Amino acid sequence: MKELVVISGKGGSGKTSMVAALSQLANNPVLCDADVDAADLHLILSPNLKESHEFTAGHTASIDLEKCTRCGKCIELCRFDAISPDFVVDPLECEGCGVCYYFCEEGAVAFPENLSGHWYMSDCRFGPMVHAKLGIAEENSGKLVTVVRKEAAKIAESNGHEMVITDGPPGVGCPVIAAIGGASGVLIVTEPSLSGRHDMERVLELARHFSVPALLCINKYDLNESISEGIRKFAEQHNVPCVGQVPFDPAMTKSMVQAQTLFEYDPNAPACTAVREIWARLREEVV
Amino acid sequence: MIISVASGKGGTGKTTMATSLALSIDRARLADCDVEAPNSHLFLRPVFEPDDTITMPVPQVDEDECTLCGECAVICQFNAIVTIADTVMTFPELCHGCGGCQAACPAGAIEEGRRTIGTIQHGRCNGLDFVHGRIRIGEAMAPPLIRQIRSRINPDETAVIDAPPGTSCPVIAAIKDTDFVVLVTEPTPFGLNDLKLAVETVKILKIPSGLIINRSDIGDNKVAEYAAMEKIPILMEIPYNRQIAEAYSRGEPVVEAFPEWRERFEKLYADICNLVAGSKS
């Protein structure tokens, strides 16, 4: 079983549209949406929910003002300024470190586990799908990413699927680190802008840092051909296979508005040819 | 006044709006809090001062003093310190810097070390004060670095914050306690879905907000309908324009590539000031 994780550094470069299109080209894949903060893949794949699971992670303190003697030890020890002068914990500032809970001599601090979100097992028209929703303003997105990837891998292993295709989160921080560790390869979707290139270089460095093989593709390459050329040269110098480039094509957005993949919306769109070529190269490189 | 620019979905135009808004305000600061993928500097090209290295506290154990009682592992919620057989091990990258182990150690064997989480750079450009942070590649924890950037903003100045995408802890660290949030979206199913998440986030934080619909003609009308239902003012709508997209690709701020836009961004700032004044009265 292989796992391909699609990432970008910069948001909005076309990760999810690319994953949806690849889902259709792949032979019975397992789909995994690891952008648990702002999941969008379900908007195209319209999964039928089979199972919903609670995701609990981390703790948040709260102070029982009846038991509290206002000794002030918790305020003194809290490094996150999460406890107000009248001994109320701000759940948004609370890091869940438990220091107040541990040191309160009156036992006035409760420290329950958080319900941080949900994860789901579903079926969609291209195969099984594992996805999740992190609660608004919650922490522990990395842990939830780890959960969905593990569940997707389990399904693939037990049912003999050749590949898991994972839609990754933007950035290079906690959820991305959780999304790429141990993957067979990452596909970096970039765009020809100074921002796109800058963030691609950072996320490539991250893939190298965790020794995950990286492949690159350029979306909307004709928006600025000289930057695209620069990106291809950069990829060559750094031994990153550039597996293809997709022209700017309004069908990309229009298919999304119709909740369809690119191929469902218009199999003759210029972007389709490019995505087919990318898939052929990906199969060679990853499978 | 601090105005944050946020979005939920990435790539909707936060940096485009934040840089042009800041350039349209007399004597402002731009603080780029997207420490994972900072881009504002590519548009503003500030002259930077030397980097400040930003660190977080981590435990440093004196093994001669350690009695292997295991109390540090009991208090640590993040599995960043454990005792195994006859040794104590720390995992600095898992540490949240709460200081619990140090406070709990009965032998006084734990001192405070530091781990580098990133850098902060100050600079100036076109009369604008600029600050941004860059998380170290491989570092997972963005919020402490974002809080450090926030601490560099003088409460009396006008500042525009370029926030990271999403709805979790980095966004909270970037926009909490700001006076106004400009939500930037696009009229597509992804834009709408992630806008709803961003609106929920802003509600939890009780910050007044307004909406910019970027590439306003590429999708459908559902974002505008949602904004009307939620009574979120639409501050600006920008139709798709290939020339703006190309200027963006070259790192040119909209108000510099297209000076006729300056007036609209000045009006945007005036509208935000009015909405903030209205929300406080």
Residue keyed to tokens 């070259």: B250
User: B98 and B38, same structural domain?
Assistant: no
Contacts of A38 in chain B (CB under 8 A): 8-10, 165-167, 193-194, 197
The first and second tokens of residue A226, run together, are 């000289």
Contacts of A169 in chain B (CB under 8 A): 166
**Residue B23 belongs to domain spanning:** 2-53+122-280
User: For residue range B205-223, what is the model confidence (pLDDT) as tens digits?
Assistant: 999 999 999 999 999 999 9
Contacts of A59 in chain B (CB under 8 A): 77
Q: Is A146 on the interface with B (CB under 8 A)?
A: no
Please give the angle made by the CA atoms of B266, B272 and B276, to the nearest 5 degrees.
150
Q: Which of B138, B242, B248 sits opposite A209 (nearest CB)?
A: B138
What parts of chain A have a pLDDT lower than 70?
A: none
On the question of pLDDT at B280 being above 90, the answer is: no
Cα separations (Å) of B182 from A117, B21, B160? 26, 10, 10
Helix axes A270-286, A15-25, angle to 10 degrees: 70
Residues 65-104 of A with CB under 8 A from B: 77, 79-80, 92, 95-99, 102-103
The first and second tokens of residue A256, run together, are 């999304």
Q: Is A202 on the interface with B (CB under 8 A)?
A: yes
Contacts of A96 in chain B (CB under 8 A): 77
Q: Answer whether residue B67 is part of any domain.
A: yes
Percent of chain B with pLDDT over 90: 97
The first and second tokens of residue A158, run together, are 């037990």
User: B215 and B90, same structural domain?
Assistant: no
Domain ranges of chain A: 2-56+122-286, 61-111
User: B273 and B176, same structural domain?
Assistant: yes
Q: Answer whether residue B114 is part of any domain.
A: no
DSSP letter at B244? H
Helix axes A250-257, A270-286, angle to 10 degrees: 90
Give the model's pLDDT for residue A39.
96
- What one-letter code names the amino acid at A10? K
User: B215 and B141, same structural domain?
Assistant: yes
User: For residue range A178-197, what is the model confidence (pLDDT) as tens digits?
Assistant: 999 999 999 999 999 999 99
Taking the CB of residue B268, how many other CB atoms lie within 10 A of it?
Answer: 22
The first and second tokens of residue A218, run together, are 């350029």
- Quote the CA–CA distance of A80 and A89 in Å, as a whole number: 11
Contacts of A43 in chain B (CB under 8 A): 189-190, 193
Give the model's pLDDT for residue B48.
97
Which residues are CB-contacts of A233 (< 8 A; sequence separation ≥ 6)?
A: none
**A2-56+122-286: which CATH topology?**
Rossmann fold (3.40.50)
Q: What is the CATH number of the domain that holds B46?
A: 3.40.50.300
What are residue B54's DSSP bridge partners? B118
- Quote the CA–CA distance of B39 and A116 in Å, as a whole number: 30
Q: Answer whether residue B113 is part of any domain.
A: no
The mean pLDDT of B185-195, rounded to a whole number, is 97
User: B196 and B134, same structural domain?
Assistant: yes
Q: What is the CATH number of the domain that holds B74?
A: 3.30.70.20
Cα separations (Å) of B32 from B120, B149, B180? 10, 8, 16
User: B181 and B86, same structural domain?
Assistant: no
Q: Answer whether residue B58 is part of any domain.
A: no
User: B179 and B101, same structural domain?
Assistant: no
User: B238 and B203, same structural domain?
Assistant: yes
Q: Is B188 on the interface with A (CB under 8 A)?
A: yes
Q: Answer whether residue B115 is part of any domain.
A: no
> What is the count of structural domains for chain B?
2
Q: Which of B37, B103, B167 sits opposite A172 (nearest CB)?
A: B37
Please say whether the beta carbons of B190 and B14 come within 8 A: no
Among B45, B78, B108, which residue terminates a domain?
A: B108
3-state secondary structure chain A: CEEEEEECCCCCCCHHHHHHHHHHHCCCCEEEECCCCCCCCHHHHCCEEEEEEEEEEEECCEECCCCCCCCCHHHHHCCCCCECCCCCECCCCCCCCCHHHHHCCCCCEECCEEEEEEEEEEEECCEEEEEEEECCCCCCHHHHHHHHHHHHHHHHHHHCCCEEEEECCCCCCHHHHHHHCCCCEEEEEECCCHHHHHHHHHHHHHHHHCCCCEEEEEECHHHCHHHHHHHHHHHHHCCCCEEEEECCCHHHHHHHHCCCCHHHHCCCCHHHHHHHHHHHHHHHHHC
- Quote the CA–CA distance of A230 and A238 in Å, as a whole number: 12
The mean pLDDT of B21-35, rounded to a whole number, is 97
Instruction: Classify the phi-psi angles of B162: left when phi > 0, otherwise alpha if psi is within -120 to 50, otherwise beta.
Output: beta
Give the model's pLDDT for residue B75.
97
Confidence of residue B165 (pLDDT cuts 50, 70, 90): very high
* pTM (2 d.p.): 0.96
**Dihedrals phi, psi of B79, to nearest 5 degrees:** 55, 35
Domain A61-111 is found in CATH 3.30.70.20: yes
User: For residue range A262-277, what is the model confidence (pLDDT) as tens digits?
Assistant: 999 999 999 999 999 9
User: B126 and B235, same structural domain?
Assistant: yes
Q: Answer whether residue B251 is part of any domain.
A: yes
On the question of pLDDT at B155 being above 90, the answer is: no
User: B104 and B205, same structural domain?
Assistant: no
User: For residue range B48-68, what is the model confidence (pLDDT) as tens digits?
Assistant: 999 999 999 999 999 999 999
Give the model's pLDDT for residue B206.
96
Task: Quote the minimal CA–CA distance from A214 to chain B in Å.
Answer: 16
Give the model's pLDDT for residue A138.
87
Give the model's pLDDT for residue B281.
77
User: B134 and B42, same structural domain?
Assistant: yes
Confidence of residue B85 (pLDDT cuts 50, 70, 90): confident
The first and second tokens of residue A41, run together, are 């893949």
Give the model's pLDDT for residue B243.
96
The mean pLDDT of B127-143, rounded to a whole number, is 96
Q: Is B273 on the interface with A (CB under 8 A)?
A: no
- Quote the CA–CA distance of B206 and B183 in Å, as a whole number: 14
Give the model's pLDDT for residue B60.
97
Please give the angle made by the CA atoms of B239, B240 and B242, to the nearest 5 degrees.
140
User: B184 and B49, same structural domain?
Assistant: yes
Direct distance between the N- and C-terminal alpha carbons of chain A, in angstroms, rounded to an integer: 9
Direct distance between the N- and C-terminal alpha carbons of chain B, in angstroms, rounded to an integer: 15
Give the model's pLDDT for residue B126.
82
What are residue B88's DSSP bridge partners? B83
Helix (H) or strand (E) holding B198: helix B189-205
Helices (H) and strands (E) in chain B, counts: 11, 12
Give the model's pLDDT for residue A137.
85
